[in-house]
Amino acid sequence: MVWRTALAGMVILALLQGCAGQRGEPVADPATVQAQVKRLLPTTTRDRDGWAKDIQTAFSAQRLEPSKSNLCAVLAVTEQESTFQADPQVPGLGRIARQEIDRRAARLHIPRMLVDRALQTRSGNGKTYQQRLQAVRSEKELSALFDDLIGTLPLGRTLLGGLNPVHTGGPMQVSIDFAERHARDYPYTYAGTIRQEVFSRRGGMYFGVAHLLGYPAHYQRPLYRFADFNAGWYASRNAAFQAALSRATGIDLALDGDLIAPGAIMPGKTELAARKLGPKLGWRNPGIRNALEQGDSLAFEETDVYEGVFKLAEKAAGKPLPRAILPGIELKSPKITRKLTTAWFAGRVEERYQRCMKR
């Protein structure tokens, strides 16, 4: 009996460790993990030792399991986002940035002539801000330029509102806001800011790994983590919930994974649809709101609202329904010049992931 109990415990532990994103004690020493990363990197990657060290440090510092699946997931996202460039170049970035400045100026009714005059001011390196703007090739350069603009030009704070419009950066194109919110255990010493660290390889990989794997999920395929990386934690699970809620109520819903809009006071369409089931299932509106507010955590799956909606939807469908689907989100960014979606992004990363797993 003792050995059976021990075996059962080992099986449970193995299952937990096999779940991507499950935190625990690292099971391999740094040299072993770095050697594995170098074997999995695309053959054209430069500075393989540097990439391997930064990735291994990110896994070790966050106590994430450096399994082949987890490593390949990180490498696949990195390859998709930057083709392993620590500070990837963006074609036409200066033009995109100037359009952003002009857009904000128009919204504030600032004449273009004043904007032109402000940008003709010479900056600290002797060049005008317009010259520097035309020369930027990467988001790191652009972010530094905007910080300078905001702090120096008379119109800088007015035009930019004290906010740098560069929101993502680094080899995994991770959100700077996400990095700033998850910087407490950042393992490196640094002299600047977390924003600046995101544009380094070590910082970009650390926060990118955290965004991809730093939360528990019950996904059966990494495809849904790739979608979440693009759309936000648990977006794939929440989109499946919205699909089930739509089936249970007959109300068409956008399957975008957003159960409650950030900072929303009035109920949105998803919440209103759930309220329609309230009288039938004995739910009160505050309880529904409380459940939906847990949509950014695993705990949402334990709520009566989550379980009740799937129970009704599966009864109507006469079959089990998926607990994760790809969110239906069209990607919006000045850098994107064609119609792309979260599903497209997840599919491309999945292809790279599968190639990595075969190496």
Lowest mean pLDDT among 16-20, 82-86, 156-160: 16-20
Query: Does pLDDT of 122 surpass 60?
Result: yes
Does residue 185 sit within a domain?
no
pLDDT of residue 211: 98
Please name the amino acid found at residue 233.
W
Q: Which of residues 101, 136, 169 is at a domain's end?
A: 169
The pLDDT value given to residue 109: 84
Residue 227 and residue 315 in one domain:
yes
Residue 257 lies in a domain: yes
Least trusted range by pLDDT, from 69-83, 95-109, 231-245: 95-109
Identify whether residues 232 and 312 lie together within a single domain.
yes
In a domain, 152, yes or no: yes
pLDDT of 332 > 80? The answer is no
In a domain, 7, yes or no: no
E strands, the chain, are 168-169, 174-175
Range of the domain at 133: 93-169
Predicted confidence at residue 166, as pLDDT, reads 75
pTM of the model: 0.81
Give yes or no for a contact between 139 and 87, defined as CB atoms under 8 angstroms apart. Answer: yes
**Cβ-Cβ contacts under 8 Å for 185 (sequence gap 6 or more):** 61, 62
- Same structural domain, 47 and 75: yes
Question: Please, are residues 38 and 50 in contact by the beta-carbon 8 Å criterion?
Answer: no
Task: Provide mean pLDDT across the span 159-174.
Answer: 76
Beta-carbon contacts of residue 214 (< 8 Å; ≥ 6 apart):
21, 23, 62, 64, 182
Q: Give the number of other CB atoms < 10 A from CB of residue 161.
A: 12
> 66 and 163 in one domain?
no
Of 213, 242, 266, which one is at a domain's C-terminal end? 213
DSSP string covering 199-215: TSHHHHHHHHHHHHHSS
Task: Say whether both 55 and 140 belong to one domain.
Answer: no
The band of 131, judged by pLDDT with boundaries at 50, 70 and 90, is: confident
